[in-house]
Amino acid sequence: MKITAHAFAARFDVPIAEARTALRSRHGALPKGGKAWDLTAEEVLDLFDEVFAREVARPLESEPTSALLTQYAQILAELRMRGVVRTGNAPLGDYAEYIAAQAYGGVLEPNSAKSYDVLAGDRRIQVKARTRSASTSANAAFSVFRSFDFDVATLLVLDSRMYALQWAREIGPNEVRNASRWSAHVNGHLLSLRAAQTLGRDVTAEFTPFL
């Protein structure tokens, strides 16, 4: 298999620079023009175990994949029963909307609502969230903005391992539009972590009690 330092870092949630150093030290520098190391799946896992395993806890390491997928489905079902998530998809988006509804004292809008997720009084709030790990680039973007028919966008960034809130910001639609870039590929505007983290108003302290 071909694996780059970026792919290794993303897979194992380790810093890119450390992943690159480990790959070079164990498997040599890439030839000129090379972009990836050609390793077996076992070599990739061995490198992780040798260099990083002590730093990254893996309490479920011995569980078979089928058992992990079963647990995942059961956890999502229980979260739906509790009202924390509303779909069977990965829970980040639903979880962020659930937190926002509590923080604002608002109500969740139907999933079919296109421009906003929470209604708090007469305020229409669009909620965007993403996880961040040691390997996440500051240029990574939130999910696409396809319209700006809302009063405020609330952006949440959570730790990829524990879903702990790193920061939350409340940003007006014009600020979002001006700071984002248009992408024809997704037919909408993309706002990066780097751009978002200094915009609008910091509401981290207001959201933290609801996690």
Residue 56 maps to a domain: no
Instruction: State which of 57-66, 83-92, 164-173 shows the largest mean pLDDT.
Output: 164-173
Mean pLDDT of 100-116: 85
pLDDT of residue 128 exceeding 80, the answer is yes
Residues 100 and 180 in one domain: yes
Residues 107 and 205 in one domain: yes
Residues 186 and 134 in one domain: yes
Distance CA 112, CA 154 (A): 19
Total domains in the fold of the chain: 3
Residues 70 and 94 in one domain: no
Question: Over pLDDT 90: what percentage of the chain?
Answer: 40
Residues 13 and 109 in one domain: no
CATH code of the domain containing 151 = 3.40.1350
In 3D space, the residue among 88, 90, 89, 109 whose CA is nearest the CA of residue 98 turns out to be 109
Residues 120 and 80 in one domain: no
Residue 126 confidence (pLDDT): 97
Residue 20 maps to a domain: yes
* Confidence at 75, pLDDT banded by 50, 70, 90: confident
C-beta of residue 93 within 8 angstroms of C-beta of residue 130? no
Residues 161 and 194 in one domain: yes
Residues 21 and 43 in one domain: yes
Residue 160 maps to a domain: yes
Distance CA 41, CA 38 (A): 10
Tell me which residue range forms the domain holding 10.
2-51
Residue 89 confidence (pLDDT): 64
C-beta of residue 150 within 8 angstroms of C-beta of residue 106? no
SS3 state at 186: coil
Residues 17 and 79 in one domain: no
Mean pLDDT of 56-60: 74
The Cβ of residue 194 has, within 10 Å, a number of other Cβ atoms equal to 13
Residues 6 and 80 in one domain: no
Q: CA separation (Å) from 65 to 45, 99, 121?
A: 16, 30, 45
Residues 132 and 70 in one domain: no
- AA letter at 139: N
DSSP conformation letters of 45-90: HHHHHHHTTTTS--TTTTS-HHHHHHHHHHHHHHHHHTTS-SSSS-
The Cβ of residue 113 has, within 10 Å, a number of other Cβ atoms equal to 14
